[in-house]
Structure 1
Amino acid sequence: MHTDLSPVIAATAQWLLRAYPASGGALADALCEAQARQAVTVAARLRYPTPMDVALLDVAGPGGSARLDWITGADGVPHADPDADAWRTWVDEVVASWAACLLTDPALAGPAVAALAVGGPSAGAPVEFRRLLAPDAADRRAAALLRHPDLVAPVAALHHAHLVARLDPGQALVA
């Protein structure tokens, strides 16, 4: 990575895990978290590919989870402790939407990881994203909600077109 995207990756993965939790205990939680983090990492690196992009993110901020919470119905009662939800300010809506697309559509996940390989040695090897690209039966069971296309459709649909355009930069612009 060119610079540190870890706060956005951690917060956005956490949001996905809370919105679409694992089922089946501690191992399922760990497997689901690994898949969410891999998808969010790919999405964040695609969204912010240069140091300048990350610097602008640092200045402007990622936007927070308010719209995502509203879409998924998670915008309920706030905690008594206002600091308990401070992490939500680091959630990036576009990254969450792209990660949802990658988790539910293998036809997008492969090209997304391949696009990172073009980014140079810091981009990461495809083996780093095995749980995203080739989930086994345990991965699929653990992340049944997170990978369910119908359940995550409202989030994935938010920025699906932008992800497709990002993965196909040779596409002609239409005025």
Structure 2
Amino acid sequence: MAGPDNPPEQRFGWPLTGFPAVVRGFHRPAFRYGSGHRGVDLAAVAGAPVLAAGTGTVVFAGMVAGRAVISVSHDGGLRTTYEPVTAIVNAGQRVTKGEQIGTVQPGHAGCPVAVCLHWGAFRSRAQAPNPGEAERNYVDPRWLVAGAKVRLLPMDPA
């Protein structure tokens, strides 16, 4: 799984231009179907270009449970997802890092600001450290980005 001791096979970039603000962080679920946040929400503007975070192949571009989703498969068994996004790519299409794959749509449920992009990352079961533990397959996508800014939060005094 990508992290400080296990970097991804390729360098990834942010799926939005610049350094977007993370308005809702990653929270790994305790078990396979448990609650959690399997990605990060990035502050965005409706209609903003969504960029492929890394080179790969679009494996899905369509609707899932009423949400517009794009999934890109990358070398090494990593898959990134983007939602809600109006796609300008099709399944089977090869994309390169930084290439526009769609535009941000408003209406992401749970977003704490007016508009945000949900960006997720998932390592396939075959590539996961513990393939039988699906909850461990989710990756905080911030680890994929070289030079990501780390911000420490104050400790809770309670």
- TM-score, with length taken from structure 1: 0.25
Higher share in helix: 1
